[in-house]
């Protein structure tokens, strides 16, 4: 561990690439990287040096950096010239992990506009809410999402004009909609991006989180926060790799090394199995991959067998998904048949990697090591990182906090708790990685971010080496396969059914997904409602992954505490053993 801690200090030393300074951002003093790029446009412009390299591989399609850059320029000029998109405007993206997602992202942020990353699972009503809330000037949408969007398009446009660009769709389109192939042509693109004035604290992206009050909240990510998230990722990767190499040279450890996962000279290859509308894939895979001239491998949907085929074909060096995906990958019968020797890092976030999975990954990789990170949409990505032998030594920890992030623990009254290994408290973070707030929700913003401190809602402890452990969850939510499902949102949808008098949503342990959604309901006297009927009812208004898999209908009212809140812990202890 001493090698890790000393390497950390060396990496952050004055005069180096990761030197830090203190500035004031939105009235809050905080540490930032002195050499950070100002905007994501400047970030994208660095890729000109990788022109001939492969950038995006989607199934059997392949695009170089030069080809993508030409398409980005073409789309950026179209958005500005045809639709007036400029600094402060928004462009929604609603699609699978198609190459057009990546191209639209870079075109939009290069204009100083913000991408609105729409959850591809959303129903028509959820899409209506998100687009009415964010009011994008343009929405770039694939065929599946077009089908859901059309029934509510007039309602959305009644609130604010919105042009639609369809991607990979041959269906007939209504007025004021166009096809990607008709408006984007990289072969005739201007040689430069449109001029744009962008401030580091301008919005770069709006990502929706599940709502604690029944509706999703649009978190405002900034250029500064996004750049610092990528620098944090590179810092943590370099620190772990360098420290491990030192430890091996000193004879303190033996065996394989993690390797440098961010070495631009050898072109890293990243696989992104999770959706790009999440910070996990967009901010923690796509963006660092782009910075180092890497290749990003995208797939139509998650399939471990297909993923192994692509890992072998493309020489994937970094696989990062939710823990379920890592487990399915190394447990797949093709794992032993495919050449996976190029993988130097496997892990991800979205949920904790169980200690047994950490050990299995470590033993399964011929070189490299497991890794994990902890973070949220509201922190642009990672707050902590743990990798290599240090992860194997502390498999229950999500790692140390990134350099430009202050952390503290508070009790239920908001009082700071001294960080000792015995202490527990709600984890709060402060720094350039904290979002500006939630669009159109000043009260929710003020409640979540106080004097620059964002309360994660997770209960944590910190050991003597500064490694953080998430030990419980303060927020009432279910973590299903890396997706946060807030109980209040599902309960609000359930109460739309007139048969339901009471509903309490909670998580049910699941070996594959971590948790499944469960609900206990009490019906109004004289009413009837089967589990199947409730699930069908909910499927029309909330995304499929939020619909409870388990439904218990009780004959008596649900138990409550003195303040009237449902006793969900009691319900879980009573009902889950009946499965």
For the chain, domain boundaries: 2-35+223-473, 62-198, 477-578
Q: Token match 């919005």: residue? A: 203
Note the pLDDT of residue 256.
59
Listed in sequence order, the residues at least 6 apart from 503 whose beta carbon sits closer than 8 Å to its beta carbon are: 491, 494, 495, 519, 520, 521, 522
Note the pLDDT of residue 214.
63
What's the per-residue H, E or C state across 491-546? HHHHCCCCCEEEEEEEEEEECCCEEEEEEEEEECCCCCCCHHHHHHHHHCCCCHHH
DSSP state of 293: T
Which 3 state secondary structure label does DSSP give 466?
coil
Distance CA 530, CA 522 (A): 12
CATH number for 2-35+223-473 (one of 3.40.920.10, 3.40.1350.10, 3.40.50.12780, 3.40.50.300): it is: 3.40.50.12780
Note the pLDDT of residue 281.
94
Distance CA 148, CA 125 (A): 9
Say if strands 425-430 and 406-410 run parallel, antiparallel, or are unpaired.
antiparallel
**Per-residue tens of pLDDT for the chain, all 579 residues:** 788 888 888 888 888 889 999 999 999 999 999 999 999 999 999 999 999 999 999 999 999 999 999 999 999 999 999 999 999 999 999 999 999 999 999 999 999 999 999 999 999 999 999 999 999 999 999 999 999 999 999 999 999 999 999 999 999 998 889 999 999 999 999 999 999 999 999 999 999 987 555 678 999 999 999 999 999 999 988 888 888 888 878 877 766 555 555 565 689 999 999 999 999 999 999 999 999 999 999 999 999 999 999 999 999 999 998 887 888 899 899 999 999 999 988 987 776 777 778 888 888 888 777 888 899 999 999 999 988 777 778 888 899 999 999 999 999 889 999 999 988 899 999 999 999 999 999 999 999 999 999 999 888 999 999 999 988 776 778 989 888 888 878 988 898 899 998 999 999 999 888 899 999 999 989 999 999 999 999 999 999 999 999 999 999 999 987 656 788 989 999 999 999
The radius of gyration computed from the CA coordinates of the chain, to the nearest angstrom, equals 24
CB 374 within 8 A of CB 382: yes
User: What does the block give as tokens for 415?
Assistant: 């009082």
Distance CA 546, CA 480 (A): 9
E strands within 240-316? 269-271, 295-298
Task: Compute CA distances 81 → 44, 74, 137, 165, whole Å.
Answer: 21, 11, 13, 15
Say if strands 203-209 and 54-58 run parallel, antiparallel, or are unpaired.
unpaired
CB 50 within 8 A of CB 67: no
Domain 477-578: CATH class, spelled out: alpha beta
Total H helices, total E strands in the chain: 19, 29
Note the pLDDT of residue 527.
93
Note the pLDDT of residue 565.
73
- β-bridge partners, 405: none
The length of the chain, given as a count of residues: 579
Say if strands 114-117 and 203-209 run parallel, antiparallel, or are unpaired.
parallel
Q: Which residues of 105-115 are buried (b: 16+ CB within 10 A; e: fewer)?
A: bbbbbbbbbbb
Distance CA 86, CA 34 (A): 28
Angle at 73 between CA 40 and CA 230, to 5 degrees: 20
Helix then strand then coil, in percent of the chain rounded to 5, is 35, 25, 35
> What is the number of other CB atoms lying within 10 angstroms of the CB of residue 149?
24
Domains 2-35+223-473 and 477-578 share a fold: no
Chain centroid offset of residue 53 CA: 26
DSSP assignment string, 381-422: EEEEEEEHHHHHHSTT--EEEPTT-EEEEE-TTS-EE---TT
- Residue 288's Cβ-count burial label (10 Å; 0-12, 13-18, 19+) is buried
Selection from 7, 9, 1, 32 nearest residue 430 by Cα: 32
User: What does the block give as tokens for 209?
Assistant: 């989180």
User: Can you name the CATH fold of 62-198?
Assistant: Rossmann fold (3.40.50)
Which 3 state secondary structure label does DSSP give 332?
coil
Say if strands 269-271 and 318-321 run parallel, antiparallel, or are unpaired.
parallel
Long-range contacts of 536-539 (CB under 8 A, 24+ apart): 537/496, 537/497, 538/490, 538/493, 538/494, 539/123
Which 3 state secondary structure label does DSSP give 553?
strand
Note the pLDDT of residue 98.
98
Distance CA 166, CA 170 (A): 9
Note the pLDDT of residue 474.
67
Distance CA 454, CA 408 (A): 10
User: What does the block give as tokens for 172?
Assistant: 């007939």
- Residue 173's Cβ-count burial label (10 Å; 0-12, 13-18, 19+) is middle
């Amino acid at each position: 561990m001493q090698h890790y801690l000393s390497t950390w200090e060396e990496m952050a030393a004055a005069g180096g690439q990761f030197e830090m300074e203190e500035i004031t951002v939105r009235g809050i003093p905080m540490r930032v990287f002195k050499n950070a790029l100002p905007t994501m446009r400047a970030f994208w412009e660095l890729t000109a040096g990788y022109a001939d390299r492969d950038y995006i591989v989607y199934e059997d399609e392949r695009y170089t950096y030069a080809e993508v850059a030409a398409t980005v320029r073409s789309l950026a000029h179209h958005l500005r010239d045809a639709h007036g998109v400029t600094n402060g405007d928004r462009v929604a993206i609603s699609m699978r992990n198609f190459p057009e997602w990546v191209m639209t992202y870079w075109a939009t942020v290069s204009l100083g506009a913000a991408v609105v990353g729409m959850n591809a699972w959303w129903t028509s009503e959820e899409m209506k809410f998100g687009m009415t809330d964010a009011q994008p000037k343009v929405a770039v949408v694939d065929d599946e999402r077009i089908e859901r969007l059309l029934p509510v398009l007039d309602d959305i446009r009644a609130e604010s004009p919105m042009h639609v660009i369809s991607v990979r769709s041959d269906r007939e389109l209504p007025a004021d909609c166009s096809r990607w192939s008709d408006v984007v042509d990289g072969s005739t693109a201007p040689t430069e991006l449109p001029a744009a004035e962008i401030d580091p604290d301008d919005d770069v992206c709006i990502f929706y989180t599940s709502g604690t009050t029944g509706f999703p909240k649009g978190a405002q990510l900034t250029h500064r926060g996004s750049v610092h998230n990528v620098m944090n990722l590179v810092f943590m990767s370099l620190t772990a790799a360098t420290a491990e190499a030192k430890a091996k040279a000193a004879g303190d450890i033996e065996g394989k090394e993690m390797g440098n996962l961010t070495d631009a000279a050898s072109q890293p290859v990243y696989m992104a199995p999770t959706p790009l509308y999440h910070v996990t894939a967009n901010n923690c895979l796509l963006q660092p991959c782009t910075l180092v001239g890497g290749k990003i491998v995208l797939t139509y949907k998650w399939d471990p067998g297909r993923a192994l085929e692509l890992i072998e074909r493309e020489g994937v060096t970094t696989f990062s998904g939710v823990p379920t995906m890592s487990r399915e990958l190394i447990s797949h019968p093709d794992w032993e048949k495919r050449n996976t020797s190029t993988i130097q890092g496997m892990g991800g976030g979205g949920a904790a990697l169980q200690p047994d999975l950490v050990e299995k990954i470590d033993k399964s990789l011929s070189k490299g090591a497991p890794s994990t990170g902890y973070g949220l949409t509201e922190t642009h990505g990672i707050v902590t990182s743990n990798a290599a032998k240090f992860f194997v030594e502390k498999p229950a920890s999500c790692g140390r906090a990134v350099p430009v992030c202050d952390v503290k623990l508070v009790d239920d009254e908001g009082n700071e708790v001294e960080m000792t290994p015995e202490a527990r408290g709600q984890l709060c973070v402060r720094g350039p990685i904290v979002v500006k707030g939630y669009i159109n929700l000043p009260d929710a913003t003020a409640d979540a971010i106080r004097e620059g401190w964002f309360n994660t809602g997770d209960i944590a402890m910190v050991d003597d080496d500064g490694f953080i452990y998430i030990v419980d969850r303060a927020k009432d939510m279910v973590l299903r396969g890396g997706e946060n499902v807030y109980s209040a949102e599902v309960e609000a949808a359930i109460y739309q059914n007139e048969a339901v008098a009471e509903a309490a949503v909670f998580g049910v342990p699941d070996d594959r997904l971590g948790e499944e959604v469960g609900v206990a309901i009490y019906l109004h006297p004289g009413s009837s409602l089967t589990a199947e009927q409730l699930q069908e009812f909910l499927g029309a208004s909330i995304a499929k992954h939020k619909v409870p898999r388990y439904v218990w209908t009780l004959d008596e009212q649900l138990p409550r505490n003195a303040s009237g809140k449902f006793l969900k812990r009691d319900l879980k202890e009573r009902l889950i053993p009946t499965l």
